[in-house]
Structure 1
Amino acid sequence: MRNIYIVVALIFSVVLYSCQDDKKSENKNKISNVKKTPPPVKEYGYVLDNYQVVRDTIKSGDSFGAIMDANGVSRGDVFRISEKVMDTFNPAKIIAGKPYTILKTKDTSATVKAFIYENDRINYTVIDLNDTINAYTAKKPVTIKRKFASGVITSSLSGAMDNEGLSIALTDKIADIYRWKIDFFKIQKGDQFKLIYNEKYINDTVYAGIENIEAAVLTHYKNPYFAFEYGNDSISGYAKYYDEEANSLQSFFLKAPLKFSRISSRYTKRRFHPVQKRWKAHKGTDYAAPTGTPIWSTADGVVIKSSYTSGNGNYVKVRHNDKYTTQYLHMSKRNVKVGQRVKQGDVIGFVGSTGLATGPHVCYRFWVYGEQVDPYKQDLPSSEPLKEILKPDYFVFIEKLKSELDSIPFKKIPNKIL
């Protein structure tokens, strides 16, 4: 009898567990069949799911009025909108190539509720038409990612950066930092660099450019040149860089009047002129570069000549002070006028081959107290040094950065250039 009770109990248990398993399986199926609602798509501060979204790019010849008219906004409303938002957004100055987004209601009227103009990859302007006409600027969410890099130059700085998968924007920033200290026309195979820098990303994924370079070291002729970002220039607002001894990397004069080129002819008292076919002094330094390459003023000053002659072609002359004057010849186009004040690095013209020139280049000439000299043999002044009161803080500030740079291994120099 007892055995019968045991058998009945076992059967009951099996049935009970079987039912529970069936219920669990049924519940799982119910859960799996429930569709998850995707999170709302939000952009520019709007939930896009609530609107018809029109995305396009400003084309050559487009106007704000024509774009709005094509999307159902009357000319009278366009005029009222333009008048209302003028202080924040000038509709007459939209630029071809810039993306824009229009948000419309989802009903049959398809009424425009917002126009968003992308000023650049991060900044945008919103014209909101939901209740009242309102315009404001805003930024896309940006994250900063800190990165490290190392490389060795086998041909050029840009080539070395490209070999490491680094952006041309980073190359330009390095050139800007060192343009007072290193002549990139004399860059050597085997020169090495290490960097600590920050990149910007939109929504944590879309690359948006270089934020800044915190620290760098570039070996040139086996000498290390350190650069640490510390503070900003009070006038330009640009970052200032100093070396490991708190000496400014900036100088009164730039090393060259343009970026990434080659010296095709140096200052000499005897050179065979390629056009005049005779021996004569060449009291300038020729930088060969593609036509249209921007030419910089190598120091602050006042334009005292902006003209054309048969020999010089288009040329500009800048007086920096009572001691120094510079001149820039053979431009395709001049970009300044006589009497205009220029800052170091301002674009004063563009490379060309006007005048007595066989190809596109700029002839850079340099005067000291009215005498033409070779600028690369002059002891030129540096910019204002770091104030003594700031030096203790500076040395503490760069201590960690220098340690981080030291921990980054230099890339090995290929045997073929050793």
Structure 2
Amino acid sequence: MELVEKIKKSSVTAFISRIPKLHLAAVAGLGAILLSTQLLSNNKTPERQRTTISLPVTVSSPSIAPTIAESAPQTNSAAQWRTEKLKIRNGDTLSSLFKRAGLNDRKMMNFLAATDDKASFNKLLPGKTLEFSLNKEGDIEQLSYVLSKLERYTFSKDNERYSLEKELREPDIRIAARTGIINSSLYLAGTDAGMDDKLIMELAEIYGWDIDFALDIRKGDSFRILYEEHFLDGEKLRNGPILSAEFINQGQVFSAVRYVHTDGRSQYYTPEGKSMQKAFLRAPVDFRRISSNFNPRRLHPVTKTVKPHRGIDYAAKTGTPVWSSGDGKVIKSGYSKYNGNYVVIQHGGGVQTKYLHLHKRKVKTGQRVRQKQVIGTVGATGRVTGPHLHYEFLLNGAHRNPRTIVQKLPKAESISTKIIDDFHRQTQPLVVQLEAETATLLALNSKGSQNKAL
């Protein structure tokens, strides 16, 4: 013990000897002041005395106090949920989606039993999303069926039941214009004008009864369109419909405007109210090029003999969809050595159309079809040199040139006199706006070209 006490005394003595004398004096002074203060506080005097003491500053490591946010417990239970976002695939069922989210069939059945709005899950659309919000126990707190950024259906747990909240948002609509001049094809001209594929195809569909975009297009043809652009929170979602358009083909002007009927149907008409839709399309396939035109004295590519070629060959990749050029009834869907897979459709007014060398047939004999319904795909069956569609058009049993005959056939109904005033009120501003917007666009493009030249 004596040895321990000696070590302690020597340690204290050594520690004190290392403290600077100035600091020792300060500590001694501080102790005296504190002692005096304590003695004074014991005397019951009516006034308190406050003494301010200045001490030498010493550097020490700062201590960091925890912030309120760090020390306060997390009270928002939603922040503790785990979210699983699953994109719906082809063939998915609600059961398979639950399993991918880590939930068994029992939890799925419990969820369905606790909601009265099961119909929302009757049709799961591929490409859409299911979002599972799960608590710490792995139970569903929320389940959202997201169809788009504009449409969402959320099931939220409330007292052991799930209530449905529908979120439907409206996009901001802006009007835009595009113009183009064709050098080789409509598709390339549309791409150069800043149009996406959907917008280009919509333009082709509007004029699909008047213009064959493989045979009729010439260099220097031009177009201009007025259309909607849809935005949400400043972000562009998609292009909306074409509102008005003008296409100049070989010097002939084709104008179209979009009219929305009182029942919500939208159709395209000329500015005078005549329907753009006709009984037959100019071309029955989404073509890229044509291998041969209508030519009664055509040299057959296989036999090298002159045989009548009473139709048009549309060369396209195998599998390209082929659609019916008009409403009608399939009177034959079969196969032969020379025609390969073929379909024959009987239309009204003594018109018959034939589609030969198909890769696959999509309709059966006796089936009724609508205009632009897919009836097969382009192929190379029968006596052919490559994949293409051979298309024939017969009127009262006689072969007619599909490129010219459709213009002479009956057209769809025009705007009735009962609604012609409403038609003009709705569409005339679109014609004027198309003129103004494209004039501005052309001026800007011209100015930009001049600046580049400088």
Give the length in aligned residue pairs.
364
Equivalence for 2:195? 166
Match of 2:321 among 265, 274, 294: 294
Separation in 1, partners of 2:78, 2:382: 59
Distance 1:281 1:61, change over 3 A: closer
Equivalence for 2:332? 305
Q: Does 2:384 match 1:357? A: yes
TM-score of the superposition, structure 1-length normalised?
Answer: 0.78
Q: Is the 8 A contact 1:64 1:94 kept in 2?
A: no
Q: Is the 8 A contact 1:57 1:98 kept in 2?
A: yes
Equivalence for 2:9? none
Distance 1:311 1:196, change over 3 A: same
Match of 1:225 among 238, 254, 273: 254
TM-score of the superposition, structure 2-length normalised?
Answer: 0.72
How far did 1:322 drift?
Answer: 4.4
Separation in 2, partners of 1:371, 1:396: 45
Trace 1:16-415 onto structure 2 (pairs within 5 A): 49=79, 51-58=81-88, 63-81=93-111, 86-90=118-122, 93=124, 95=126, 97-105=127-135, 108-119=136-147, 122-130=150-158, 131-133=160-162, 138-139=167-168, 141-185=170-214, 186-207=216-237, 209-232=238-261, 239-378=266-405, 379-407=408-436, 408-409=438-439
Distance 1:324 1:82, change over 3 A: farther
Separation in 1, partners of 2:218, 2:261: 31
Q: Deviations over 1:383-418 (max 9, x none)?
A: 11211232233234333222222222385999xxxx
How far did 1:134 drift?
Answer: 5.2
Separation in 2, partners of 1:377, 1:70: 57
Q: Is the 8 A contact 2:258 2:269 kept in 1?
A: yes
Q: Deviations over 1:53-104 (max 9, x none)?
A: 222334577653244235453322323545765533137x563x44332112
Q: Is the 8 A contact 2:278 2:411 kept in 1?
A: yes
- Percent of residue pairs bearing the same amino acid type: 32
More strand by share: 1
How far did 1:156 drift?
Answer: 1.2
The one-letter code sitting in structure 1 at the alignment partner of 2:286 is: K
Equivalence for 1:30? none
Separation in 2, partners of 1:124, 1:280: 61
5+ unaligned residues in a row in structure 1: which ranges?
1-32, 36-46
How far did 1:377 drift?
Answer: 3.1
5+ unaligned residues in a row in structure 2: which ranges?
1-66, 70-76, 450-454
Q: Which has the larger radius of gyration?
A: 2
How far did 1:161 drift?
Answer: 1.4
Separation in 2, partners of 1:230, 1:212: 11
Q: Please, what is the CA RMSD of the aligned residues?
A: 3.0
Separation in 2, partners of 1:253, 1:69: 50
Q: Is the 8 A contact 2:221 2:248 kept in 1?
A: yes
Distance 1:321 1:298, change over 3 A: same
The one-letter code sitting in structure 2 at the alignment partner of 1:403 is: V
Distance 1:282 1:72, change over 3 A: closer
Q: Deviations over 1:222-246 (max 9, x none)?
A: 2221110113597xx7521111222
The one-letter code sitting in structure 2 at the alignment partner of 1:353 is: A
